Amino acid sequence: MRLRRCALLMLEPRERLDFDFALIAAGGSGLLPRIETMAVAPQLAADVALTKSETEAVCSLSPSRWRDWEELAALHPADVLQALVNKQLLIVEGSEPDARDRLLRDTYWRAPAAAMHYSSRWRGVDTEAVEQKFAREFDGDPMERLGAAPATIRSHGGSRRVLPPAEKSSFGDLLDRRVTCRNFDGAQALSLVSFSSVLFRVFGARAADDYAPGLRLLKKGVPSAGGLHATEAYLLVRHVEGVPPGLYHYHPVEHVLESVRPLAPDEAATLAKRFVAAQAYFVDAHVMVMPTSRFVRNFWKYRNHAKAYRALILDVGHLSQTLYLAATELGLGAFITAAVNEVDIEQAFGLDPLEEGPLAVCGFGIRAPERKEVEFDPLGAVWPSV
């Protein structure tokens, strides 16, 4: 049996507070801080704790060189090696963890980016329940607990020059009306034309260029690192004329909606709530769009690059802002949220998180005639009478 260390691994000395009643009897708080080493690796479902012996062993193992068990057993206790195998930090050649580890290697993730991305993914988080728990456990004014907010603007002093007012334009008016929507009209269907228009203006390709043999670059309405446009649109459609509720993928070159799985209306509502971590004010959106980064495409060019993951985040930012503007121009509401259950989304669409995954959830649809949920609209551009 041959083994090697997993491709990507980061270790974090993490403090854990244990309770010891004897400390209270001695006049203390009862809390005993302990430092434990946690292994953070993309292929793991969760961070795992390591003993001192396991930490020493894993730090000495090569991620590139295969070695026989007998050779490693002469250097480290067999029970330590087996524990590392069980924790999938020491990979057995030909095993299922080996296949996952090879896929991770072939995707060219950079270790810090992979650790941050996989450690920040949610599964089954209910933000409503979290807020209720927070309210129960912490009384008083939240601002008092948070302390004084940092200054709204950081002024650098020095000489100042007053600039002329910006010229009036239809684009300026559009930006004034750009307000995050938390009130959607679930009783009214979004027209197919509006649905199609928003998708094309945001995600559609204006041109596809065979830049090099085997490499096709896309021209869209937003910039993208290397012209790769590695972020695609997966959709949860709830209430669009002529489009049955379901999960879909948008093909940006052919301007085609590809069905992933049909959904009953109640199932669509349940998934919508799960996707946005139970943020109720987004659940009634006619369309949810999961901007999904294809890491395998971006990292194919920017291999183990320090800026590659940041570029993917920028891509999602460009797309979400364009979605806001495209929806606002048509008189629709839009939103984006990063408080999402990425793992649940990946499983619903059958995505392999080592190769592609969502970084946020966007949505758009028809605004409700009345505002029941708070929206930040200080200009009164959307709700002038409120």
Return contacts of 369-378, CB within 8 angstroms, 24+ apart: 369/185, 370/183, 371/183, 372/183, 373/182, 373/183, 373/281, 374/182, 375/179, 375/180, 375/181, 375/182, 375/183, 376/179, 376/180, 377/179
CA neighbor of 224 nearest in space, from 109, 320, 314, 326: 314
The proportion of the chain whose per-residue pLDDT surpasses 90, expressed as a percent, equals 78
Contact 237, 246 (CB under 8 A): yes
Q: Identify the band that residue 172 occupies on the pLDDT scale cut at 50, 70 and 90.
A: very high
Same domain flag for 221 and 299: yes
Distance of alpha carbon 44 from alpha carbon 215, whole angstroms: 33
CA neighbor of 259 nearest in space, from 245, 244, 271, 248: 248
Q: Is residue 199 part of a domain?
A: yes
Beta bridge pairs of residue 236? 247, 288
Tens of pLDDT, residue by residue over 150-164, are: 888 888 888 988 999
Phi, psi dihedrals of residue 255, rounded to the nearest 5°: 55, 55
Same domain flag for 206 and 330: yes
Same domain flag for 52 and 195: no
Distance of alpha carbon 165 from alpha carbon 230, whole angstroms: 38
- Whether residue 109 is predicted with pLDDT greater than 70 in this model: the reply is yes
Same domain flag for 179 and 295: yes
The beta strands (E) that lie in 243-338 are given as: 246-251, 256-262, 287-294, 333-337
Q: Is residue 122 part of a domain?
A: no
Distance of alpha carbon 111 from alpha carbon 109, whole angstroms: 6
- Whether residue 357 is predicted with pLDDT greater than 60 in this model: the reply is yes
DSSP string for 125-146 = --HHHHHHHHHHH--S-HHHHH
Q: How many domains does the chain have?
A: 2
Tens of pLDDT, residue by residue over 48-103, are: 999 999 999 999 999 999 999 999 999 999 999 999 999 999 999 999 999 999 99
Q: Is residue 386 part of a domain?
A: no
Residue entry with tokens 């049996």: 1
Distance of alpha carbon 239 from alpha carbon 271, whole angstroms: 14
Same domain flag for 196 and 88: no
Handedness of CA 131, 361, 359, 106 (dihedral sign): positive
Q: Is residue 53 part of a domain?
A: yes
Q: Is residue 229 part of a domain?
A: yes
Residue entry with tokens 């946005």: 276
Contact 293, 352 (CB under 8 A): no
Q: How many CA atoms lie within 13 A of 11 on its CB side?
A: 16
Distance of alpha carbon 80 from alpha carbon 56, whole angstroms: 10
Q: Is residue 385 part of a domain?
A: no
Q: Is residue 374 part of a domain?
A: no
Q: Is residue 182 part of a domain?
A: yes
Same domain flag for 237 and 343: yes
Average per-residue pLDDT for the chain: 92
Same domain flag for 90 and 212: no
Contact 361, 336 (CB under 8 A): yes
Q: How far is CA 352 from the centre of its chain?
A: 14
Q: Identify the band that residue 21 occupies on the pLDDT scale cut at 50, 70 and 90.
A: low
Give the pLDDT mean for 226-237: 95
CATH number at residue 360: 3.40.109.10
Same domain flag for 77 and 221: no
Q: What is the per-residue pLDDT for 114?
A: 92
Tokens linked to 200: 């094309």
- Whether residue 383 is predicted with pLDDT greater than 80 in this model: the reply is yes
Contact 359, 311 (CB under 8 A): no
Contact 184, 365 (CB under 8 A): yes
Tokens linked to 62: 């090569």
- The residue among 39 and 19 whose pLDDT is bigger is 39
Q: How many CA atoms lie within 13 A of 253 on its CB side?
A: 8
CA neighbor of 211 nearest in space, from 200, 219, 202: 219
Residue entry with tokens 């963890």: 97
Same domain flag for 208 and 101: no
Q: What is the per-residue pLDDT for 23?
A: 61
Same domain flag for 194 and 319: yes
Domain encompassing residue 95 = 2-107
- The residue among 385 and 245 whose pLDDT is bigger is 245
Tens of pLDDT, residue by residue over 324-334, are: 999 999 999 99
Same domain flag for 350 and 211: yes
Tens of pLDDT, residue by residue over 115-128, are: 889 889 999 999 88
Same domain flag for 84 and 202: no
Cα of first residue to Cα of last residue in the chain, in angstroms, is 71
- Whether residue 203 is predicted with pLDDT greater than 90 in this model: the reply is yes
